[in-house]
Every structure is written in structure tokens, then in C-alpha cells.
Amino acid sequence: DTEVTQTPKHLVMGMTNKKSLKCEQHMGHRAMYWYKQKAKKPPELMFVYSYEKLSINESVPSRFSPECPNSSLLNLHLHALQPEDSALYLCASSQDVSVESLFGPGTRLTVT
């Protein structure tokens, strides 16, 4: 298994909803990342987990809450989002933080 998978592919949620995005990899990678990508913009780093510990939080609002239950899974919990949070949310992983990152297909999130 040489890929990063993300579910769901698409998500529409209201501003009062609570939802979660899921990311999974079985390549033994010990670093996992969440990125946010708006249309026609490059991905922007949100969080980095290294060996299941949060190592970087790029000043992301608290309505986004990451979780790394084990070395293969990464979740992003969403609560009270704003319409401007609508974007493609990308998960990535790498063998460690010094080599190339592989990206998942992303979850397209729309906040209404």
C-alpha cells in the first residue's frame, strides 16, 4: 500500500455542525500533515505530527482540532466553521520530516 487515503471526498456542513476529516496511510511514515488549499492557491501548512506528537501548529483557529490516534491515522475535527473555511483539505505523510511528502486526494469542504 503506497498511498494516502482521505475520507470523505466531499463534505458540506453548516456553521453549527461538528464533523471530522480522516486520513490514513500504511507506509510506515512517521510524519503526517494537514494542509489547506484555496482555489488557484498553493497548499498552506496547518499542522504537523511527528511520531504521533503535534510538532507544528501554524496559528490555526481553534475551530480546527487535529488528532493522531496512532501512527497510521490522522483526523481533523471541525466545529463552528465559517464560510471562508471552504477549501480543499489535504493530508500528507513522509517517512520522516526530511524527505518527500506524499499527498492524499483531499477532502473538498464547503461551509454553508
Partner 1 sequence: QKEVEQDPGPLSVPEGAIVSLNCTYSNSAFQYFMWYRQYSRKGPELLMYTYSSGNKEDGRFTAQVDKSSKYISLFIRDSQPSDSATYLCAMREGGGADGLTFGKGTHLIIQP
Question: Which residues would be at the binding site for partner 1 (CB under 8 A)?
Answer: 6, 31, 33, 35, 41-43, 45, 48, 50, 55-56, 58, 88, 90, 92, 97-106, 108
Closer to partner 1 by Cβ: residue 80 or 102? 102
| Shortest reach from residue 6's CB to partner 1, in Å | 8
Residues 38, 87: contact at Cβ < 8 Å?
A: yes
| Shortest reach from residue 47's CB to partner 1, in Å | 9
Closer to partner 1 by Cβ: residue 65 or 103? 103
Rounded Cα distance, 44 and 67, in Å: 18
User: What's the grid cell of residue 96?
Assistant: 520522516
Closer to partner 1 by Cβ: residue 20 or 37? 37
Q: What's the chain's Rg over C-alpha atoms?
A: 13
User: What's the grid cell of residue 88?
Assistant: 480543499
| Shortest reach from residue 90's CB to partner 1, in Å | 6
In 3D space, the residue among 106, 109, 110 whose CA is nearest the CA of residue 43 turns out to be 106
| Shortest reach from residue 20's CB to partner 1, in Å | 19
User: What's the grid cell of residue 37?
Assistant: 488549499
